Structure 1
Amino acid sequence: MFACVLFPLLTAGVPNVRWFGVEGDYNVLVMDLLGPSLEDLFNFCSRKLSLKSVLMLADQMINRVEFVHAKSFLHRDIKPDNFLMGLGRRANQVYVIDFGLAKKYRDTSTHQHIPYRENKNLTGTARYASMNTHLGIEQSRRDDLESLGYVLMYFLRGSLPWQGLKAGTKKQKYEKISEKKVSTSIESLCRGYPTEFASYFHYCRSLRFDDKPDYAYLKRIFRDLFIREGFQFDYVFDWTILKYQQSQIATPPSRALAPLAGPSAGMPPPVANVDRPS
């Protein structure tokens, strides 16, 4: 029930724990009901997300990782399946879930950082694991952020270069993924996409083991790109449009809604408590 120790420390973008205890032979944890995962929505959008959607997600996802780190924990399994959208008035809010692999990286009172170690087994999901994690180095804040970078590129590209590799055993597959990741330069990974994504990776990989990341800098480079592209931070994601279009097709002609025009046309209104760049 490790999650129960962590959850009370968190609020923004983390589901509330309603109850936990033992029922018969089972440990039970009751949490807020949330919406689909980003992996589900990625599949719904034919496994490609627009730059606008990725940047709106990135802003909230960096906030979530920063918040977990502020509570002295690492997540250690950053992947699309572990980020869910809310429901109802929270439908545009990103939540981070699954703290089964989370680990304290510093003492809560003194902020003494855990020591640097090597020869560690890979913890997390190999597809999104940082380079240092593959090399057996103890994870720290930089690794959660590098993993988040791979998630963003996965959304933009549709896949990562080290997906689909065949191997006889899990260990051999991890080795193949590691080899492919090492041989894929940041520039190659991010080719064809705004340079801010390469800058993100270069920054994450420049951090020392116990460095505190500059989360504001990472959010700023993506927010500046968002503004430069002329996007509106309206919480209209790719799936919002797709769902709206599907609802229009399903609606009889006599009851069809007006053309797409924000909340009055069936689009969700902005949510007051969702992170909005200033």
Structure 2
Amino acid sequence: MKTVLILADQMISRIEHVHTKNFIHRAIKPGNFLMGIGRHCSKLFRIDFGLAKTYGDNRTRQHIPYREDKNLTGTALYASYAHLSIEQSRRDDMESLEYVLMYFNRTSLPWQGLKAATEKQKYEKISEKKMSTPVFCKGFAAEFAIYLSYCRGLHLEKAPDYMYLRQLFCILFRTLSHQYDYTFDWTKLKQKAAQQAASSSGRGSRPKPQQLGLLSQKSGSRKD
């Protein structure tokens, strides 16, 4: 949970930044977020703007109009409930993020692997599953259900309250007495692996006699 909450804080900020530039990402999914390396190893980056679109007129900033019968853009697994037929806006990016976070929590989504005769029927099944918010968030902190309900309650043109959404998870983070030390789940795994490697190195690992013999045979058979 600690790792998910740290990522949630950064993800909301990254999406907010995209929105301040008059763009919606439209492809929010785990694979479009990457961790930095070196001195940026604790910083999250967003990638893949191939499906990004302006949500307001560049000159007047007037929001794009409400439209129905829209085709799916992006990945159905993480697409917002409304987006399965309605024009996307900032609220849809934020709802898609909820599915990413819950994927991290659950390690899978309830609508993964659904079978249907056609793509349209498959999307309809996914849509039905996504409507069951209480079941979807059951067993996890209430903040995740609150987040999803808030996003779904936004009007098309309404700007999300990014600060409010970050605060939801920040308060939960403090309630769980976590330390914001950028220690992720994978950080612990790397530390454990390093300790095991150091321990093995300290004990020494001499090759077995048969291995030495095999190496000698190979080196002896090599032609000069």
The bucket for the TM-score relative to the shorter chain is: 0.7 to 0.9
- The whole-number CA distance in structure 1 between the counterparts of 2:202 and 2:64 is 61
Structure 2 counterpart of 1:216, from 141, 163, 175: 163
- The whole-number CA distance in structure 1 between the counterparts of 2:128 and 2:2 is 32
**Does structure 1 residue 205 correspond to structure 2 residue 205?**
no
- The whole-number CA distance in structure 2 between the counterparts of 1:78 and 1:212 is 17
**Does structure 1 residue 227 correspond to structure 2 residue 174?**
yes
Q: Give the partner amino acid of 2:159.
A: K
The aligned residue for residue 170 of structure 1 is: 119
**Does structure 1 residue 191 correspond to structure 2 residue 138?**
yes
**Contact 1:71 1:108 survives alignment (8 Å):** no
Structure 2 unaligned spans of 5+: 204-224
The aligned residue for residue 98 of structure 1 is: 48
Query: So what's the TM-score if we normalise by structure 1?
Result: 0.70
The alignment partner of 2:45 has SS state of: strand
- The whole-number CA distance in structure 1 between the counterparts of 2:59 and 2:178 is 42
Q: Give the partner amino acid of 1:218.
A: L
- The whole-number CA distance in structure 1 between the counterparts of 2:174 and 2:86 is 37
Residues 176/231 of structure 1: CA separation in 2 closer, same or farther (3 Å cut):
same
The aligned residue for residue 131 of structure 1 is: 81
The alignment partner of 1:126 has SS state of: coil
How far 1:170 moved relative to its partner? Answer: 2.9
The alignment partner of 1:95 has SS state of: strand
- The whole-number CA distance in structure 1 between the counterparts of 2:99 and 2:54 is 23
> Deviations for 1:186-217, whole angstroms, at most 9, x for unmatched residues?
22111111111111011101100100110000
**Does structure 1 residue 148 correspond to structure 2 residue 148?**
no
- The whole-number CA distance in structure 1 between the counterparts of 2:20 and 2:92 is 15
Larger Rg belongs to:
2
The aligned residue for residue 68 of structure 1 is: 18
- The whole-number CA distance in structure 1 between the counterparts of 2:201 and 2:187 is 23
Of residues 155-164 and 141-150 in structure 1, the stretch that sits farther from structure 2 once superposed is: 155-164
How far 1:94 moved relative to its partner? Answer: 0.6
Q: Give the partner amino acid of 1:127.
A: L
Pairwise mapping of residues 259-274 of structure 1 onto structure 2 (< 5 A)? Answer: none
How far 1:234 moved relative to its partner? Answer: 0.5
- The whole-number CA distance in structure 1 between the counterparts of 2:76 and 2:192 is 36
The alignment partner of 2:77 has SS state of: helix
- The whole-number CA distance in structure 1 between the counterparts of 2:60 and 2:191 is 50
- The whole-number CA distance in structure 1 between the counterparts of 2:164 and 2:27 is 23
**Contact 1:101 1:123 survives alignment (8 Å):** yes
**Does structure 1 residue 246 correspond to structure 2 residue 196?**
no
- The percentage of aligned residue pairs carrying the same residue is 61
Query: So what's the TM-score if we normalise by structure 2?
Result: 0.87
- The whole-number CA distance in structure 1 between the counterparts of 2:157 and 2:139 is 32
Structure 1 unaligned spans of 5+: 1-50, 257-278
How far 1:181 moved relative to its partner? Answer: 1.9
The aligned residue for residue 216 of structure 2 is: none
- The whole-number CA distance in structure 2 between the counterparts of 1:97 and 1:172 is 30
Please state which structure has a larger fraction of its residues in helix: 2
- The whole-number CA distance in structure 2 between the counterparts of 1:192 and 1:152 is 14
Residues 112/192 of structure 1: CA separation in 2 closer, same or farther (3 Å cut):
same
The alignment partner of 1:251 has SS state of: helix
> Deviations for 1:67-96, whole angstroms, at most 9, x for unmatched residues?
000000000010000001111111111110
